[in-house]
Amino acid sequence: MTKITIDLGNSIGIIHPNIYGHFAEHIGGVMEDGLWVGEESPVENIRGFRKKLIESFKKINPPIVRWPGGCFAETYDWRDGIGPREKRPVRVNWWYYHDGRLEKNQVGTHEFMDFCRLVGAEPYVAANITSLTPLHIRDWMEYCNFPQGSTTLAKEREANGDAAPFQVKYWGIGNENWGGGGEMTPEMYMQEYIRYSTICRPIWNPAMKFIFCGANGHDVSWTRRIMQEYSSHKYHIIPSYGMSIHYYCGGGECFLKTEEEWYDSMFRAAKMQRIIDDHRAAMDEFDPERKIKLIVDEWGNWHKEGSGPSKGYNLFEQQSTMRNAVVAALTLNIFNNRCDIVDMANVAQLCNNLHSLYLAAGDHLVETPTYHVFDLFKGHQGGQQRPIIYHGDSMQREGYDTLPEISAAASEKDGLLTLTLSNLHMTEEKIIALSAIGGKLQGKAVLSILSHPDVNACNTFENPDTVVPVAREIMLTGENDQIILPPASVAALTIGR
């Protein structure tokens, strides 16, 4: 039997709500016929944004949304997205080479800020450093954040509909500058970052948080080299808030055919833990006080495209199956249990793309199994992490760390304990003996389980509720409590304390 013990007397820290962050790029169907339908659309909308999506998204308390890319950010000129929408230019999108679609700039700065307000999320803006100058970025910051009536740009913002500043705190300076963002060396990138952040100095205030471009996956040498370069610059007029890494797992088809593909996904997803630990260790060589935070700007399963409802029209769109739900749960539990290291993480991407929470087209919108994981896990946001002691079976694979068959994380907030679990075994149910040290878990609890006998099960426009959580009340006695996790499942248990 598997034993899970929650240590109620200890904690490594508070789980930053931004670990439950999101990412919405101008790519394929994320915006177009995804989040954005336009004010004139017959699809119900709020100032152009899909109403059903807003209502659903709000329910999971999205803390932050990263925008406008991704790779797209590196050719984006923010001035294309302000002013009357009918007059905005149509441009070649960064992704044009891949899908031939043009960028109509209907969602610009004001629309994005409106979306964030509608769903209650903080905006996180990725600034272009490959093809715009530092002055352009400084202007964008001024446009967004300067007080009403102060500068010409602040007045232009007001003329375009927003008198009050947007107060954008989070600014990413560049995206994937080791790749699509200019194929720079770490030293070259860091010099650019310092140049941009220095020029943006007049706009900076202590609330603003600058994030520099970290590595691709496990490339620790990038981290060491940018940190070395960063440390060689003496002044750091603007302190940096974070370094962002990107890690996608997956590969292969969305609908798996063999057990091997399932376990391959589990090990690849679990590698996130090794990746963040190794990057932090490399950062610690230069930043032992951990002033610079680790951010996972983009994460998720990246399967072959074409499995989503648009059948390949929307670039990178994939279905989200029970496997994606388990990968999401495993990844979020890693972040929960590494909340002393990870300050923010953004799943890629929100709608009609990679590991999406939504699939949409025309009048249709479905919440994917991944959406339900974010819903089940939302109690962790801002919670005091509680360590887990695990006794149970583990899986081994060459080249990977040992992987416990059950992924688990616990936290407490406002008198409520949230325990999230995932059974990584594809075919065996697991009986879990649940206990606590440093306190008791006793009384009425709610156990919600997301599972399906078919690991390829997903929600479609025709059958939107194939994979939905089932919640029931259970009674915990504090002695010999057991819960049963079906194979390939995700669960959340909440209990008052």
Q: What are phi and psi of 193, to 5 degrees?
A: -60, -45
Least distance to ligand AHR, CB of residue 252, Å: 17
Separation between Cα atoms, residue 342 and residue 407, nearest integer Å: 18
Separation between Cα atoms, residue 122 and residue 130, nearest integer Å: 25
**Among 267, 237, 236, which residue's Cα sits nearest to residue 249?**
267
* Residues noted as catalytic: 176, 298
Task: Confirm or reject binding of residue 74 to ligand AHR (CB under 6 A).
Answer: no
- Residue 180 or 309 having the CB closest to ligand AHR: 180
Separation between Cα atoms, residue 36 and residue 460, nearest integer Å: 20
Task: Confirm or reject binding of residue 366 to ligand AHR (CB under 6 A).
Answer: no
Q: Tell whether the torsion through CA atoms of 323, 325, 327 and 333 is positive or negative.
A: negative
Separation between Cα atoms, residue 329 and residue 377, nearest integer Å: 8
Separation between Cα atoms, residue 455 and residue 169, nearest integer Å: 40
Residue whose CB is nearest to ligand AHR in the complex, by number: 70
Stretches 36-44, 57-65, 69-77, 224-232: which one binds ligand AHR (CB under 6 A)?
69-77
> How many of the other CB atoms lie within 10 Å of CB of 394?
12
Stretches 112-120, 198-206, 267-275, 348-356: which one binds ligand AHR (CB under 6 A)?
348-356
Task: Confirm or reject binding of residue 348 to ligand AHR (CB under 6 A).
Answer: yes
By CB under 6 A, name the one of 6, 8, 24, 25 that touches ligand AHR: 25
Stretches 67-75, 217-225, 304-312, 486-494: which one binds ligand AHR (CB under 6 A)?
67-75
By CB under 6 A, name the one of 139, 298, 305, 375 that touches ligand AHR: 298
Stretches 64-72, 99-107, 249-257, 482-490: which one binds ligand AHR (CB under 6 A)?
64-72
Least distance to ligand AHR, CB of residue 390, Å: 32
The widest CA-to-CA distance across the chain, in whole angstroms, is 68
- 3-class DSSP assignment, residue 380: helix
Hey, which residues does 46 pair with through a beta bridge?
49
By CB under 6 A, name the one of 125, 227, 330, 354 that touches ligand AHR: 354
Using CB under 6 A as the binding criterion, the count of chain residues that bind ligand AHR stands at 11
- Environment class of 295 (CB within 10 Å of its CB; exposed 0-12, middle 13-18, buried 19+): buried
Least distance to ligand AHR, CB of residue 471, Å: 32
Contact (Cβ atoms closer than 8 angstroms) between residue 318 and residue 458 = no
Hey, which residues does 310 pair with through a beta bridge?
none
- Residue 356 or 381 having the CB closest to ligand AHR: 356
Residues 326-345 interacting with ligand AHR (rule: CB under 6 A): none
Stretches 68-76, 150-158, 331-339, 370-378: which one binds ligand AHR (CB under 6 A)?
68-76
Residues 233-252 interacting with ligand AHR (rule: CB under 6 A): 246
- Residue 349 or 422 having the CB closest to ligand AHR: 349
Task: Confirm or reject binding of residue 65 to ligand AHR (CB under 6 A).
Answer: no
Contact (Cβ atoms closer than 8 angstroms) between residue 344 and residue 19 = yes
Contact (Cβ atoms closer than 8 angstroms) between residue 155 and residue 176 = no
Q: Tokens in use for 316? A: 């990178």
Task: Confirm or reject binding of residue 182 to ligand AHR (CB under 6 A).
Answer: no
Tracing tokens 């007059």 back to the chain, one arrives at 87
By CB under 6 A, name the one of 114, 176, 375, 412 that touches ligand AHR: 176
Contact (Cβ atoms closer than 8 angstroms) between residue 109 and residue 41 = no
Task: Confirm or reject binding of residue 349 to ligand AHR (CB under 6 A).
Answer: yes
**Helix, strand, coil share (%) of the chain residues, nearest 5:** 30, 30, 45
Separation between Cα atoms, residue 155 and residue 147, nearest integer Å: 9
By CB under 6 A, name the one of 17, 63, 68, 70 that touches ligand AHR: 70
- Environment class of 90 (CB within 10 Å of its CB; exposed 0-12, middle 13-18, buried 19+): exposed
Task: Confirm or reject binding of residue 175 to ligand AHR (CB under 6 A).
Answer: yes
Stretches 42-50, 66-74, 277-285, 364-372: which one binds ligand AHR (CB under 6 A)?
66-74
Least distance to ligand AHR, CB of residue 131, Å: 15
By CB under 6 A, name the one of 17, 62, 63, 69 that touches ligand AHR: 69
Separation between Cα atoms, residue 215 and residue 157, nearest integer Å: 35
- Residue 262 or 358 having the CB closest to ligand AHR: 358
Task: Confirm or reject binding of residue 305 to ligand AHR (CB under 6 A).
Answer: no
Least distance to ligand AHR, CB of residue 269, Å: 16
Binding site for ligand AHR (CB under 6 A): 25, 69-71, 175-176, 246, 298, 348-349, 354
